[in-house]
């Protein structure tokens, strides 16, 4: 590992903001956040970006990943959500889903509203262009992942984040050479209908009658696919993939009212992180 130089003063700044010693911060980042073979210069560039956008890597808002053979910075869905929600001009987002004749999702459109603009920024993402068959999260929850993709691109365009991050850095691609059949995969219900748009499956279902009350626990927490998250993390082949799977499923926010299941998710992440880190 290269020795830090005076030009890498971002370490001092970042450590001070988190009430840590610089050496302890660097050691923690290298063990928990950074992929293997990350240089001090790459770590410094990552911290510069995290500091610029005021995103917390320990809260899984921004990641340092290895993509296409190089170390890159990746802002998670939680990070982009924070960027949008703390902007005083943010006025919400709406999602619409496009489905094929068989009911399978084909595209998601996100309309991002700003109070200082008369028209929304609208982005449509197509499943055929985005699906990553090597990603367990995409195989298990294509609707959720495509919604995340549309939201991220809308934030980038509506708030100028695209000026700071190129496409590969902001949305690392997973290349593949063979087609993937996603039709057998069920379209999951949104885990938090009050905070997120309904999934295509829930749109197709008939409205519940008064004889079918839905409890708060079922409405908010029980729909979260904990078993899918655990299976995806067990199938992860690297620490970077594990971190991205955890971020994609968002258990910290989706299970905040269910501490027992949240503990299961977090403990599974820690054990799988140790397994993959060797």
pLDDT confidence bin for 63, thresholds 50/70/90: confident
Mean pLDDT of 199-208: 43
> The whole model's pTM is what?
0.58
Predicted confidence (pLDDT) at residue 117 exceeds the cutoff of 80: yes
Q: What is the mean pLDDT of residues 190-201?
A: 40
CA distance 51 to 218: 38
What's the average model confidence in pLDDT over 67-81? 83
**Low-confidence winner among 85-94, 172-181, 205-214 (lowest mean pLDDT):** 172-181
Cα–Cα nearest to 26, from 49, 57, 55: 57
Q: Which pLDDT score, from 0 to 100, does residue 155 have?
A: 92
Of 121, 104, 120, nearest to 162 by C-alpha is 121
**pLDDT(75) > 60:** yes
- Tell me the mean pLDDT in the region 209-218: 44
pLDDT higher than threshold 90 for residue 246: no
pLDDT at position 189 over 90: no
Does residue 125 or residue 246 have the better pLDDT? 125
Q: Hey, what's the torsion of the CAs at 228, 234, 235, 236, to 10 degrees?
A: 110
Q: What is the mean pLDDT of the chain?
A: 74
- Is a pLDDT exceeding 70 seen at residue 174? no
The one-character DSSP state at 31 is I
Give the lowest-confidence range in 62-76, 100-114, 213-227.
Answer: 213-227
Given a contact cutoff of 8 angstroms between Cβ atoms, the answer to whether 182 and 146 are in contact is: no
């Amino acid at each position: 590992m290269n020795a830090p130089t005076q030009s890498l003063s971002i370490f001092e700044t970042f450590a001070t903001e988190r009430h840590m010693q610089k050496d302890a911060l660097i050691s923690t980042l290298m063990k928990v956040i950074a992929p293997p073979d990350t240089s001090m210069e790459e770590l410094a560039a990552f911290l510069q970006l995290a500091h610029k956008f005021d995103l917390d890597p320990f809260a899984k808002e921004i990641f340092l990943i290895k993509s296409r053979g190089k170390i890159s910075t990746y802002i998670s869905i939680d990070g982009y959500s924070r960027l949008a929600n703390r902007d005083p001009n943010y006025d919400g987002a709406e999602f619409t889903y496009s489905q094929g004749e068989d009911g399978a999702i084909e595209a998601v459109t996100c309309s991002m509203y700003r109070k200082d603009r008369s028209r929304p920024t609208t982005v449509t993402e197509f499943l055929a262009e985005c699906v990553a068959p090597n990603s367990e999260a995409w195989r298990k929850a294509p609707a959720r992942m495509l919604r995340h993709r549309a939201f991220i691109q809308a934030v980038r365009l509506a708030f100028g984040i695209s000026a700071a991050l190129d496409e590969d850095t902001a949305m690392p691609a997973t290349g593949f050479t063979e087609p993937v059949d996603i039709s057998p995969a069920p379209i999951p219900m949104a885990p938090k209908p009050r905070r997120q748009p309904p999934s295509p499956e829930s749109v197709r279902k008939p409205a519940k009658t008064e004889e079918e009350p839905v409890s708060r626990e079922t409405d908010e927490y029980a729909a979260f696919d904990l078993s899918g998250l655990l299976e995806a993390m067990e199938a992860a082949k690297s620490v970077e993939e594990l971190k991205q799977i955890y971020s994609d499923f968002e258990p910290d926010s989706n299970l905040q009212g269910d501490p027992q299941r949240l503990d299961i998710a977090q403990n599974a992440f820690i054990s799988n992180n140790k397994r993959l880190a060797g």
